Amino acid sequence: MRLLLISNSTNAGEEYLQHPLPAIGDFLKGVKKVLFIPFAAVTYSFDEYEKKVQKRFDEFGIQVDSIHHHRNAKVAVHSAEAFVVGGGNTFRLLKMIQQLDIIEALRYRVLDGTPYVGWSAGSNMACPTICTTNDMPIVEPDSFSAFNLIRFQINPHYLDANPSGHAGETREQRINEFIALDPFSYVVGLREGSILKVEGGDITLLGDKSLRVFKHQAEPKEYKPGDNLDFLFE
């Protein structure tokens, strides 16, 4: 199994996909065309999303073929060289994937070795569920079950901050609510600019920031690039 799970597409002050682009190019080396899943887009069209990603993927000569152009989505999944799942609203993304009935087909292909790249909502979709997304449920999917490619949950765009004057819950408090009701799951707080790369049974943190791992009845723990993260597969 080969996964590239990216916290965010764009760092503050940078161009679109600037920070993960070298990692994506290296990860997809030898791939000529990817099947793009744009369904997290809400305030812009799927065509616009496809063109935006294509502009960056042109830099390493990869064609972006959006699944919304295909009359038979399952055939497109079965023939894809690689999958790229873009960010946006995770609930919209999951609902449309469910409507196309491609969760099991895509999961089988990825478990069989087809590369998977996802950022933000696309990273959430690699988890067992989308329950650790930051997004509002603007649509109602049939369930929260996602591709289940990894055993742990990801919280992309993870923030430590508690803004001055803000009396609402912090991100950490929200995650603690999740693990209180799902005590057997790890949740990875993946900070912006960070990437998790999975190659077979190996998992590597890319970038220059640490990540934070949450587990019920345990203190959150920081792991930096180079640390062993294999326990996340236990």
User: Which amino acids are annotated catalytic?
Assistant: 120, 135, 157
The torsion angle over the Cα atoms of residues 171, 176, 177 and 178, rounded to 10 degrees, is 90
Q: Pick from 197, 32, 222: which is nearest to 123 by CA?
A: 197
Kindly give, in sequence order, each residue whose CB lies less than 8 Å from that of residue 167, ignoring residues fewer than 6 positions away.
none
SS3 letters for 115-184? Answer: CEEEECHHHHCCCCECCCCCCCCCCCCCCCECCCCCCCEEEECCCCCCCCCCCCCCHHHHHHHHHHHCCC
Q: Pick from 48, 68, 55: which is nearest to 21 by CA?
A: 55
What residue type is 217 in one-letter code? Q
Q: Locate 196 and state its tokens.
A: 């998790």
Kindly give, in sequence order, each residue whose CB lies less than 8 Å from that of residue 62, ignoring residues fewer than 6 positions away.
28, 31, 32, 33, 34
Hey, CA dihedral for 128, 34, 39, 194, is it positive or negative?
A: positive
